[in-house]
Every structure is written in C-alpha cells, then in structure tokens.
Amino acid sequence: MPHLFDPFTLKSITLRNRVGVSPMCQYSSDDGVANDWHLVHLGSRALGGAGLVIAEATAVAPEGRITPGDAGIWADKHVEPLARINRFIKEHGAVAGIQIAHAGRKASAAVPWAGGAHLANDAGGWTTVAPSAVPFGGDQNKVPHALSVDEIKGVQANFVAAAKRSLAAGYEWLELHSAHGYLSHEFLSPLSNQRTDSYGGSFDNRIRFILETTRAVRKVWPENLPFTVRISCTDWAEGGWDIDQSVELARRLKTEGIDLVDCSSGGAVPHAKIPVGPDFQVPFAERIRREADIATAAVGMITEPKQADAIIRSGQADLVLLAREELRDPYWPAHAAKALGHAAAVQPPKQYARAW
C-alpha cells in the first residue's frame, strides 16, 4: 500500500503526493470573477507542497451561487483570471482542480461574516431553485421555485458549459458538487426531493439528475483527465440519503466514467445530528472504495500527519483532502513530510531554500 507522500496517478495526471486542498468557498468574488485574493490563497497552498489544489465551489449559473461573493464560471469573462491562477499553481508543481456547483435552495444567502441567512430579493438576493418547493429551514427559509424538466436540462447545460470553460482555464481535475445540500444533493435526498416525475421518488429517479449531468459533462471533459464527484455519503437524518445508497450511486457513476468519489457528508437538512470528530467520514471513503471499486478521497477533520498517512497506508482512501487545517497551515504538506521522515518529498520554492 502507498503512503501519503507517494505520487498518485489518475488517468494522465500524476499528483506529487496524496495531499489535496479541499475546495473552500472564499466568498470574495465580484460577479463571480476571481482576483488577487484567490491567486494568493490558492497559490500559497501550491507553494506549501500539496499535490492537488481544488478551487472553491464555482457556480455554473449566477442563481447557483451560495452568496453574492461566490466564484463563478458561467461567463467567458471568468476564464482568464482563473487561468492566471492555474498557471501559477502548475508552475509550482501542483495540479489545479475545480469544483463546479449549483447551490439550489441554499443559494441567495449572506456571506458567513454577515450571518449567512437568506437574502430577500430586494436586499441583494434572488429567487432560488430546487427539485421541489421545499425550503431548507432555519434562517434559510426561502421557498425555492421547483424546476421544470426544461429548466433541469438548462442547469445541466450550464454544467457542460462550465466544464468547457474549466478546461479553457487550464484545470486538469474536475469535480462535480453533489454534496452538502446543494442542488444535485437536493435531487438525491428524499428530504428535499418530493417530485412525482422521473426525477423524484425511486432511487433510480433521484439519481437521474447527477447521472445525466455526469454523462453530458463526460462528453466535453477529456477522457485522459480526472473526472470526480463529491457526495454527501449520508444526510445523518431519518428518512434521508445514506451510505448504502451512496455505494450504489458510486457504482453507477463509475459506469458513467467517474474516476474518483470525494466522500463528505451532511448539509441536506438543518436538524441533522452529525458526530463530528477525527476521521468521522473516513469509513464512507473506505466502503465506497471497497464496494464500488473506485478511487476515493477522504475529507473532514483530518489534521495530523500520522492520521492522514494511516488513511492512505490502510487503503481507506487514495487521497486525503484537507480544508481548515490547510487554512491554518498552507505549509502542512511540507511539515507533514518532515514529520513522517519524507522531508525530501516536498521541495521548497527556490526563493525559500535557505530557510527550509
């Protein structure tokens, strides 16, 4: 079994190690456009030694943004600022990935540092869309517009256009966001999907949105580049989506050409009881890897070098994705390599060599 600092090859792409930076919303764009914040934020993490740097949930349509500050890729003007960042990431030895997303009924919210509640249409917000006209709840209580079948096709076309722009921007790793209670996950979960047409009800109907979207994106995303999906493996709520359904979905996604499943959880409903703790989502990555025979990424409360290394060495996942720990320490991969006795695996930028 490989260890944390062994390279990882998926299709034609080889990551220099098995540490990835998880996609993390920065809520710092104007009309979806990336700027110097994103260059410094993502660029620093490439310098720190991560093998993969995944850009935040990037909206495929303006109404698919969680907040007015979300990154976007719904227009051609978004491409060049992202391409600039990706040239920097690549120059420093990391692979640039992107998560393309639609927030569904959790869109139209204030940025977290302004409270995160839904914004009224006359206060900078907009009408949200979802599988069914069922609000999320709590302070995100807007009643979404239930998408018609034509409108569903429109959103899927938005994902296809976003994938083409992602390629034009130089990304070499694509992730579809189907987790955390956003649009695609809203189709999966019976708690948010109450449709009576071919997109709701049975398991086959609830997975139709993500399977069709995957199939459509597969046609425009190069066969030789990694194509991945993030799912919430369980809603942690009675009557919701669960790990058994996730395993079966992973098998179907593999058939559609998905190369890796990024295994998160939660986000569907506000009343979920989530047993947060070290490695709490790792068993999901392990089960999907074993039972669906597909590569997985483990994410969530992974903070320690030995912990991350053990996940890889034990074959629970092929890749670990760090989020908040990478915010606390962009040089986590360099520090972890040293701690694990693989110091040579992470080389400093030449400008920093004398301090290494």
- The site for ligand 536 (CB under 6 A) is made up of 25, 57, 66, 180, 266-267
Q: For residue 21, what are the contacts with CB-CB under 8 A and spacing of at least 6? A: 42, 45, 50, 52, 53, 54, 321, 322, 323, 326
- Residue 267 CB, nearest approach to ligand 536 (Å): 3
- Residue 55 CB, nearest approach to ligand 536 (Å): 12
Residue closer to ligand 536 by CB (options 25, 319) is 25
The Cα 284–Cα 215 span in angstroms is 24
CA dihedral 206, 60, 36, 15 (to 10 degrees): 50
- Residue 327 CB, nearest approach to ligand 536 (Å): 12
Residue closer to ligand 536 by CB (options 32, 266) is 266
| Residue 53 and residue 26 in contact, taking contact as beta carbons nearer than 8 Å | no
The Cα 138–Cα 129 span in angstroms is 17
Q: Which phi-psi region, left, alpha or beta, contains residue 173 (left: φ > 0; alpha: ψ -120 to 50)?
A: beta
Residue tagged active-site, from 182, 199, 331, 352: 182
Residue closer to ligand 536 by CB (options 15, 269) is 269
Residue closer to ligand 536 by CB (options 32, 267) is 267
182 catalytic? Reply is yes
Residue with token string 């809520």: 27
The tally of CA atoms less than 13 A away on the side-chain side of residue 233 is 24
- Residue 173 CB, nearest approach to ligand 536 (Å): 17
- Residue 325 CB, nearest approach to ligand 536 (Å): 14
Residue closer to ligand 536 by CB (options 69, 267) is 267
| Residue 228 and residue 260 in contact, taking contact as beta carbons nearer than 8 Å | yes
Catalytically active residues are: 182
